Structures are given as C-alpha cells and as structure tokens.
Amino acid sequence: MKVAAKVFIIIGMVIGFWMILPLIFGGIALSQMKTRKPSIALSICVLLFCSLLGGIFLLCTSDSDYTVQQ
C-alpha cells in the first residue's frame, strides 16, 4: 500500500500544481515516507488537500511497511 499511496499523492500533486497546499502536504508526506510512517495528522491533511485515495492508503499502511529489510 505504500507504493499506491506514493502514486496517488504524486498524481494529486500534479493535478493540483496550481494550488500551494497539495504541493506542501504531498512533499512533506513523500519525504517522510522514505524513513518512517507519516503522522496521522499529516495523513489526514493529505486526504483533505492532496489526494483522497493517497490519504486513505497512508492511514491504512502498517508500521511494518516502513521497516528496512536486509
């Protein structure tokens, strides 16, 4: 679900490029997804301002999706 969330967030950022909020919340969420799960508040902001599906996928992802497997 992590990859699906990234895809929908990027699509939401591309579609809403002329507004500032999707770019801000999408960029913060994508940068936090590299190392750890974004907070619930940020996930809700992504859901409201950037991408409905991306926010839902962010809320549904588990912590095990963000652990580094070697």
In 3D space, the residue among 19, 26, 17, 18 whose CA is nearest the CA of residue 51 turns out to be: 26
The domain tally of the chain equals 1
With bands split at pLDDT 50, 70 and 90, how would you rate the model's confidence at 70?
Answer: low
Does the pLDDT value for residue 57 go beyond 70? Answer: yes
Q: Is residue 69 one of the residues assigned to a domain?
A: no
Q: Is residue 68 one of the residues assigned to a domain?
A: no
Instruction: Tell me which residue range forms the domain holding 30.
Output: 2-59
| C-alpha dist (Å) from residue 38 to 3, 11, 18, 21 | 14, 18, 24, 17
Q: Is residue 7 one of the residues assigned to a domain?
A: yes
Q: Mind giving me the DSSP string for 21-47?
A: HHHHHHHHHHHHTTTSPPPHHHHHHII
The residue assigned the tokens 């960029």 is 27
Q: What is the pTM of this model?
A: 0.87
Q: Is residue 22 one of the residues assigned to a domain?
A: yes
pLDDT tens across 10-46, in order?
999 999 989 999 999 999 999 999 888 899 999 999 9
CB 37 within 8 A of CB 31: no
Q: Is residue 52 one of the residues assigned to a domain?
A: yes
